[in-house]
Structure 1
Amino acid sequence: MSNKGKEHDTNKQNEKTPLMRQGSAGGRKQLPAVPDADTQLSLASKMIDKKTSTAKGNHSYGPFFLEYSLLAEYNQLQKQKLPGVYVIPSAKSALFWNGILFIRQGIYQEGIFRFSLHIPENYPDGDCPKLVFDPPVFHPVIDPETGHLDVTRAFQKWRRNHNHIWQVLLYARRVFYKIETKSPLNPEAAVLYEQEIEVYKQRVAESIKKCKDHVYDSPNSDDPHAIKFSPWEVDVHGDAREQVLTPKICLSDKNAQTSGLSWIDRGSTKVFSRDDSANA
């Protein structure tokens, strides 16, 4: 048989055989799974260093991948759900985050401390992010003049794909529950904590009062994402309070079995406000 005859038979056979995509199941293209947060951070860090060459020259896309990496860090932070820690990136720069820390127990209980997080421009290959309290808090590892927290004692060297921003915020919260006095930035606070604990508690109370007295002050910047507080107003906050205190009842699950007991009366935040002795 001639070559032309062979080609003719082959073409007929191809017409009868349906085309199948190689590497696909059932002829359908399968999309890869969405990578987790750690994988996203790893990919972003690798892409930060890349440069793309075009006909017009070399263009670095590092700033865009840096912002993507910081977005992945912020998403990972939200999953951690650190108690009492609230942060939001600035509307002007992803390298600056506004934050506030609520302390709920211990020596610094009832503390409301504002802070800012400064991320280096060469993140994640640069130094550790800096955390500054404003106003400064009376604490052995916080500079009494600048408000800088000594983060380097927990992160002596910032390592890509190993250290994360949420860990810096976790450390900032932890220092108020576990007091460290070695190599202090505030020697006076360290000495008082070691030798005059009652005087130390008094100075801490004064620092907490100072921070709470300025909690309603307007932020020093015009950043739209700056955290602001306003005094209680029924017309402004009343509806939100009612929504928080009103229990959600799902009609479809009204008769469903529930686990645990609650002695808090509806519409109240007081513990043991409901009397169940009549039903006992």
Structure 2
Amino acid sequence: MYAAVKATKSENNENFQRQGSLRRVIPSDINKDNVFDHQNTELNKVYRIYRQEYVILAEYKMIQSEDIQGVYVIPSKESSLIWFGVIFVRNGPYEDGVFRFNILLDENFPDGEHPKVVFQSEVFHPVIDLVTNKLSLSSAFPKWHKSDQHLWQVLKYIQWIFDNMNASLAHAVNKEAEKMYRNDLNAFTAKAQELVKLSKEHLYDQPQTEDKHYIMFEPYAPEIHDKVRTSMVTFHEEQFNKVGHSWVLPGSYKSLARPPTPPSENES
């Protein structure tokens, strides 16, 4: 019997040794700080993404409030760091031109470098690089400060370089365009008008991207667009003719003053 008990103990010991001890199953060098550091890193990453999306949304709302005439932008559906834009030029050598551009935000926006503006349409302009079609922002925004600079200012600058050709020469990076504008304005204007014509010819081109937020245009079709136009004009007139309720007491400049309550029949 002793031998049987001894054999059983021997088998149990052997089984235990084959399975290994807890020291071998659970590593002895667990670093709790590493676990929490990893969790904090993931949380910080999520926080940065949400914060960036919030900042970009705020930038877009500011652009809407500025109401920059003739300039339209919208963030890409695929990435909020890419914006599609188009400008309808109303003055200067490029008058009547419709030029497309993209705004590329830094991956750390609003921190990091200033946004990049790259024209998709061909534009021969002193402040637009002849090779890359990139708008030079270094003179207007030498260093991007998120507390001072905003995207609506970039759009204002895009508008400014077309409306103020003479002043924009101080920011020139395209020396060929600058030289032609200074020395032969007629030739420069003729070239600009050629590009204006070209921009209109390609206005209705199919997009090279499947992004649903890409700005597209189509020829005016009276059977479709007349109804929309009438609806928009009517809505504008209705809003203009509406008279709001006054919360100022007649004869008083006190805001939110409540008009006197009419006397009841018992009081009259």
Measured in 1, the distance between the counterparts of 2:242 and 2:150 equals: 41
CA contact (8 A) 2:93 2:192 kept: yes
Give the structure, 1 or 2, with the largest relative contact order (CA under 8 Å, sep 6 or more).
2
Measured in 2, the distance between the counterparts of 1:157 and 1:105 equals: 29
CA contact (8 A) 1:136 1:145 kept: no
Moved more, 229-238 or 241-250: 241-250
**Which residue of structure 2 lines up, in the alignment, with residue 144 of structure 1?**
130
Q: What is the TM-score normalised by the length of structure 1?
A: 0.67
Taking every aligned residue pair, what percent have the same amino acid on both sides?
38
Moved more, 225-234 or 144-153: 144-153
**Which residue of structure 2 lines up, in the alignment, with residue 101 of structure 1?**
87
Measured in 1, the distance between the counterparts of 2:172 and 2:114 equals: 18
1:253 CA drift (Å): 6.2
Q: What is the TM-score normalised by the length of structure 2?
A: 0.70
| 3-state SS, counterpart of residue 196 of structure 2 | helix
**Which residue of structure 2 lines up, in the alignment, with residue 214 of structure 1?**
202
CA RMSD of aligned residues (A): 2.2
Measured in 1, the distance between the counterparts of 2:57 and 2:162 equals: 28
Structure 1 residues 93 and 196 mapped into 2: Cα distance closer, same or farther (>3 Å)?
same
Matched, 1:158 2:144: yes
| 3-state SS, counterpart of residue 78 of structure 1 | helix
Moved more, 107-116 or 195-204: 107-116
In the alignment, structure 1 segments of 5+ residues that lack a partner are 1-52, 255-280
Q: Choose which of 19, 35, 53 in structure 2 pairs with 1:67.
A: 53
| 3-state SS, counterpart of residue 198 of structure 2 | helix
Larger helix percent: 2
Q: Tell me the amino acid that sits aligned with residue 207 of structure 2.
A: P
Structure 1 residues 142 and 55 mapped into 2: Cα distance closer, same or farther (>3 Å)?
closer
| 3-state SS, counterpart of residue 180 of structure 2 | helix
Moved more, 143-152 or 111-120: 143-152
1:106 CA drift (Å): 2.2
**Which residue of structure 1 lines up, in the alignment, with residue 185 of structure 2?**
197
1:181 CA drift (Å): 2.2
Q: Tell me the amino acid that sits aligned with residue 78 of structure 2.
A: K
**Which residue of structure 1 lines up, in the alignment, with residue 237 of structure 2?**
248
1:54 CA drift (Å): 6.4
CA contact (8 A) 2:125 2:178 kept: yes
Matched, 1:123 2:109: yes
1:241 CA drift (Å): 2.1
Q: Tell me the amino acid that sits aligned with residue 57 of structure 1.
A: Q
Q: Tell me the amino acid that sits aligned with residue 237 of structure 2.
A: K
Q: How many residues align?
A: 202
Structure 1 residues 55 and 156 mapped into 2: Cα distance closer, same or farther (>3 Å)?
closer
When Rg is computed on C-alpha atoms for both structures, the one with the higher figure is 2
Q: Tell me the amino acid that sits aligned with residue 131 of structure 1.
A: V
1:188 CA drift (Å): 1.6
Deviation by residue 1:181-240 (Cα, 9 ceiling, x = unmatched): 246332221011101000110010011111111000011111000000001112221211
